[in-house]
Amino acid sequence: MKKFDIPIYYRSPIISKVKAKRKLEDPRKKDFSPSLVQLGNIDFIISRHFGFCYGVENAIEKSYAAINDNPDKRIFLISQMIHNPDVNADLQSMGVRFIQDTDGSQLIPWDEITNEDIVIIPAFGTTIETEAIIRSKGLDVQKYNTTCPFVEKVWNRSAKLGESDHTIIIHGKHKHEETRATFSHSQVNSPSLIVKDIEEAKNVANYILGKTTIDQFLAAFKDKLSEGFDPNTHLKKIGVVNQTTMLASETQDIADFLKETMVSAFGEVNLSEHFADTRDTLCYATNDNQSATLELLKNEADIAIVVGGYNSSNTTHLVELLEPKFNTFFIRNENEIKSKDEVHVFDIYSKQVVIHNEFIPEKDHLKIIITSGASCPDSVVDRVIQKLATLTGVSFDIDELA
């Protein structure tokens, strides 16, 4: 796999050695069991796969190349490059400005962008409409296009489905940048519909099976349908693709459920005429991170810590996987750890940061699970580990440890 040129301060003395050792021992990634790092009386149980994925490293490399190659130009990102506050803050400190927020609301009017500027497309990709605006400014769309190759793979699969007259059902959050981009690309080739979860998939199934009216269907999917979507004709032949950062198992559950719906509606013998197999749209990094997180559940631990941006979809799903078994803390970085007793944690349900006054248990020997999202630098995870060790009175030499 390609080696990316990313700033050295995103690397880490501990995690980089752990990952290098695991890669040497298991180059084909067959072993999803976690790594164990012992610091004093703490066993850190570290996920086999976490942190920057291929698409994120590609985006970082191109973004910093844009900065280094154009010292005298204004540089803009369409929106956050990835969902990590430390990375985005670093880019902003170098003068990069965001044109839109993560919901697509305009922060800088397009009229202010000129053909002398640099515009970077983030890892999530962007809509066809936004690409057209960039081109209308006389700017090169591709030079600093950091769209993840696996997002583009979903777009290409959608286009193929459109060629065979399939309607595209996108499993994703309809306001997420990646889903908006995928929807924009897919609806050019085929009628398209966004479903957030299995409950919304059931709404689709109920209409296919004649259990709800067209008005009920259209109300349930307001703002989630391509223009001119006709459920009477467009739900007879479907394929499911996904926002690559969603739970892979949930995407598969939705696809399997809709497949059974089509069997009920049209018969097993006619299934191939009504439903497309789209397992090939699942992102390898999302799969690996989630599989490694499931492997963590086979262990025993006192607490679990998930590190990453609070608006990161893939990181949120790691929390969802861990919290049924472990007392799980979702933190942005080491600064959220205030003391052994106090930590500021993001609640994925209320979408608020809450204060926990019971954090590190008083035990002679601690077991702490550590993982992070695909947009979190290893250096941040490293600092979290070091802070936890320091707070519990563990002394260590970082160079000797590495």
Cα radius of gyration rounded to whole Å, the chain: 23
The β-bridge partners of 346 are: 353
Q: Which of 57, 131, 177, 178 is catalytic?
A: 178
Please measure the distance between the N-terminal and C-terminal CA atoms of the chain and give it in whole angstroms: 24
CA distance 360 to 340: 5
Pairing relationship of beta strands 343-347 and 352-356 according to DSSP bridges: antiparallel
- Please indicate whether residue 178 is annotated as part of the active site: yes
Question: What is the phi/psi pair of residue 373, to 5°?
Answer: -80, 170
DSSP conformation class of 83 = S
CA distance 155 to 225: 17
CA distance 168 to 264: 20
> Which residue from 220, 163, 165, 164 is spatially nearest to 195, judged by alpha carbons?
220
Q: Give me the active site residues, please.
A: 178
